[in-house]
Amino acid sequence: MFKKILIANRGEIAIRIARACHEMDISTIGVYSTVDANSRHLWHMDETVCIGEPAPQASYLNIKTIIEQARRTGAQAIHPGYGFLAENALFVKACEDAGIVFIGPSSKAMILVGDKVASRNTVKRVDVPIIPGMEASSTDLAAYRSMADQVGYPVIVKASMGGGGKGMRIVRSEKELEPSIAAGQREAQSAFGDATVYLEKYIQNPRHIEFQVIRDTHGNVVHLYERECSIQRRHQKIIEETPSPALDNVLRAKMGDAAKSVIKAADYTNAGTVEFLVDHNMKFYFLEVNARVQVEHPITEMVTGVDIVRHQILIAAGGELEFRQKDISQRGHAIESRIYAEDPDSNFMPSPGKILFLLEPSGPGIRVDSGIYQGWDVPPHYDPILSKLVTLAETREISIARMSKALENYIILGIKTNIGFLKRIVDTEKFITGEYDTHFIDDNEEALIPQHDKITQALVAASLVKTTRNAVFAVQSVAKSGQVRHAMTPWQELGHWEICSR
């Protein structure tokens, strides 16, 4: 086993990885940019190294510096976390060339799954359903025309090297086709440095369901069941749950087998996620493979009891999986809410700044993977994820109730967060019944947009200043009178306010 691992990331995921290392008696090297010198992830590391200026390109994305520091400190392996260099095949290759183990798939598997056209063809060969569409990219308009006619409008133009919705264009009629291809190519070129696009049938109102798979270098492959990821906004997932309320056990088993076939066909090792779209007729289609530990991995850990990060390290060191498919089952129901420093009142603009007060929820069935502390200044340079709140309970209903209350009890003062928005989601009828798809946020905008009821605000303000009764009681009284739909603590729901010292 490795003695030392460099963790090439920051925030909650760097801490999550450090915990696994420490349990395995592996020392950790943390890295930071100059603006992260006081960041919490460094508290959890045995050694720390500054790798450059705040701009990601100058630090967390600097391949040369990170490999140099791994060499200098004697790290035998690098864990990339998610984001930054996690799915960069050039980085994987640079690690391989430097004789440092990259904790993830080989550069060869990484290149294959990073290319959507190539992975569609790989997947097709093992009889896993793919979305009807082109088998090769083309620069010839006629090829797009004939495929669009064959599968029928609407169609979608996608970037082959893309992900996260960039370079994607929905095309509803033939006259939109040529401009959409051009726009997709331009966007793909600027986002990924590669203008290659292709065309597929557009699946309307799908669910997004992914399977966690793990495969060792000895040929053992196991899936750890699914995560329902349809609650997303602008291609950013915000709430995930497992089991999916949409799957029955027959479909679940079919998709789990398909996911394993995909991973084997790509000769992919380590932890990976196979994404599927599921349409209204419960037909599923392969979408893409994510070659990293995912933000939402904890819900899988909660219901299966498998420590995914520990197994990533074990597999990278040449070890064998400690379990087989028959050993794995789902027990209970887990939900994750992603806590962001952003302002739902102002189009979800990032809201960096100082955390003046912090109280994180805890209790039975509550896990908080947090990267923050009271007094810390959230920098503006990175993804504004602060932490992840995960609940586990014996049933979905109880897990939702647990999440709703835990969100209410998650107090972050000094910066804006999406906590109130998350609570409104889990309190929404269509979420509670499980009848939602990838359009849920757009379809329920009315109910999800902050109420900031004037009366509530006035009452809260008045009670804060004038009475001995607490403000929570005041808000809840208004809610019971039927004047507002969702009662929240004033910390989550009050509009614009700040703490001042006088």
- Which residue ranges make up the site for ligand MV4 (CB under 6 A)? 131, 156, 163, 165, 200-203, 206, 208, 232, 235, 277, 287-288, 438
CB of 440 to ligand MV4, least distance (A): 10
Q: Which is nearer to ligand MV4, 5 or 277 (CB)?
A: 277
CB of 205 to ligand MV4, least distance (A): 9
Separation of alpha carbons 466 and 201, rounded Å: 61
CB of 87 to ligand MV4, least distance (A): 13
CB of 346 to ligand MV4, least distance (A): 22
Q: Which is nearer to ligand MV4, 20 or 209 (CB)?
A: 209
Q: Which is nearer to ligand MV4, 275 or 360 (CB)?
A: 275
Phi-psi region of 414 (alpha: psi -120 to 50; beta: other; left: phi over 0): left
Q: Is 424 a catalytic residue?
A: no
Q: Which is nearer to ligand MV4, 160 or 489 (CB)?
A: 160
CB of 197 to ligand MV4, least distance (A): 13
3-state secondary structure string, 83-151? CCCCCCHHHHHHHHHHCCEECCCCHHHHHHHHCHHHHHHHHHHCCCCECCECCCCCCCHHHHHHHHHHH
**Residue for token pair 């037909």:** 283
Q: Which is nearer to ligand MV4, 121 or 232 (CB)?
A: 232
Spatial neighbors of 201 by CB under 8 A, at least 6 apart, are 131, 132, 133, 151, 152, 155, 156
3-state secondary structure of 43: helix
**β-bridge partners, 214:** 222, 271
Q: Report the chain's C-alpha Rg in angstroms.
A: 23
Q: Which is nearer to ligand MV4, 69 or 273 (CB)?
A: 273
Task: Quickly count: other Cβ atoms within 10 Å of residue 136's Cβ.
Answer: 12
3-state secondary structure of 254: helix
Separation of alpha carbons 445 and 350, rounded Å: 19
How many residues can be counted in the chain? 502
Active-site residue among 10, 207, 292, 402?
292
CB of 436 to ligand MV4, least distance (A): 12
What is the distance, to the nearest Å, from the Cα of residue 306 to the centroid of all Cα atoms in its chain?
19
Closest by CA to 379, choosing from 360, 351, 407, 348, is 351
Closest by CA to 196, choosing from 146, 156, 155, 161, is 161
Active site residues: 292
